[in-house]
Amino acid sequence: MKFFLIIKIIILKIIRLNISFLKREISGYPNIVKKFEKDFASFIGKNYGISFCNGSSAIEASLFALDLSQNDEILVTSSNFHSSIGSIKNLKFKPIFVDIDPQSLTIDCNDLKNKITSKSKCLLIVHPWGYPCKMQEITKIVKENNLKLIEDCSHAHGALYDNKKVGSFSDISCFSLQGAKAIKAGEGGIALTNNKNFLLRMSLYGHFNRHQSELMNDENLKEFSKTGFSKKLRAHPLGISLASVDLENLVNLNKYKNEIYNTIDNIIKKYNSIKTMELNDKATRGGFFGGYPVIFNDIEKIDEIKKIFEKFKIELYPYHWLPHHKMNIFNSDETKLIVSESIIKNFFMIKIPYFLNFNFDNFKKCLLDCKKNNLIK
């Protein structure tokens, strides 16, 4: 069944791409783009969607939409993609780095509370690798401290917290539609909101001819109605035609991927020296970027472990993210984040094949071989 679903998706993409091309829907805002924005927003549970040329631009536009002042503080994890942090710097806000929780590797709510000051204006969270953050606690903290909330759901298309989709909890939620993500435009992104003013400001930031008539009716924004802010960050309609097929099949894909992850969880559980990211209470994974996360305690043995994985043809990748809080381009303050710093060397991802035909028996044998060679316990 999984195999046929993937084949169906490939065929539908070829058809839809060609239809878009033949209809000359290759730039601007043809129906395929408008429909995708509407369908995506309603799938997540938001009123408005606006597409971008990538997720990074969607995040930068969403920060711009909040109409903050220079040096206002944006709370963000360092364990994140660099462009989310770069967007804070590009707009001249100040990133304040928050650590992650050692079990779930999602934002640490205690550290978050400690980092809030009178200058804090916004919290930007990411649901890493498809694992939802503790949204109940986060929405409470945000409300109590009068912060705006942006969710970066680039890894977590269709993931749930308490049966609500991630991306529905925030003032603005952003999704990358880059080629390795669950919904793929090749390159692309989308931002969602219920707030019309945020929508118009995002439109101004990256689109110059999108909401002209609405902008004309807004006293503060009408002078920009024809030019926007002179950036052109719109999505490619051909990419969106591909992404629209992924959106329609996301629920089924997430179901199959959840089955794979649940089975791997149970296999890994039998070993003490390897663990995985703990799923927060009430959270259901979705999207699943990067692969299945594994944390090796005995990291000195990793080279030999990698050789055994290679022998069994299972791809093992190192952690993708950098210690951004220690990099001059993002931060000049001394910031120590104990968990974020320690996880970088122990964290690896197991590749899940495109056709979702992960071989569990082969994986079990691989781990047994590691154990036999005293590499894991």
Ligand X SMILES: Cc1ncc(COP(=O)(O)O)c(C=O)c1O
**Closest to ligand X by CB, 173 or 176:** 176
What is the spatial distance between Cα 215 and Cα 227, in angstroms, rounded to a whole number? 11
Minimum CB separation from ligand X for residue 370, in Å? 29
- The phi, psi pair for 339, rounded to 5°, reads -70, -45
Q: With CB under 6 A as the rule, give the number of residues binding ligand X.
A: 13
Question: Which residue's CB atom is positioned nearest to ligand X?
Answer: 55
CA dihedral 108, 144, 123, 326 (to 10 degrees): -50
Q: Is residue 55 a contact residue for ligand X (CB under 6 A)?
A: yes
Q: Is 178 in the site for ligand X (CB under 6 A)?
A: yes
The answer to whether 208 contacts ligand X (rule: CB under 6 A) is no
Which of 251, 252, 254, 247 has the alpha carbon at shortest distance from 185? Answer: 247
Find the shortest distance in angstroms from Cβ 146 to ligand X. Answer: 25
| Beta carbon of residue 49, minimum distance to ligand X (angstroms, whole number) | 15
- Cβ closer to ligand X: 20 or 79? 79
* Cα 72 versus chain centre, distance: 24
Nearer to ligand X, 56 or 120 (CB): 56
Q: Does 280 bind ligand X (CB under 6 A)?
A: no
| Beta-carbon-side half-sphere exposure of residue 201 (alpha carbons within 13 Å) | 18
Distance between CA 18 and CA 117 in Å, rounded?
A: 52
The reply on whether position 154 binds ligand X by CB under 6 A is yes
Q: Smallest distance from the beta carbon of 69 to ligand X, in angstroms? A: 24
Distance of CA 48 to the CA centre of its chain: 19
Q: Does 120 contact ligand X by CB under 6 A?
A: no
CA distances from 130 to 35, 283, 336 (A): 25, 10, 26
Contact predicate 278/131, CB 8 Å: no
Q: Which parts of 126-145 interact with ligand X (CB under 6 A)?
A: 126
Instruction: Please say which residue, 181 or 210, places its beta carbon nearer to ligand X.
Output: 181
- Of the pair 178, 241, the CB lying nearest ligand X is at 178
Return the beta strands (E) in the chain as ranges: 48-52, 73-77, 94-98, 120-126, 148-152, 160-161, 164-165, 172-176, 189-193, 274-275, 283-284, 292-296, 316-318, 347-350
Q: What binding mask, one character per residue, do residues 64-93 give for ligand X by CB under 6 A, x or -?
A: -----------------x-xx---------
Positions touching ligand X (CB under 6 A) are 54-56, 81, 83-84, 126, 152, 154-155, 176, 178, 189
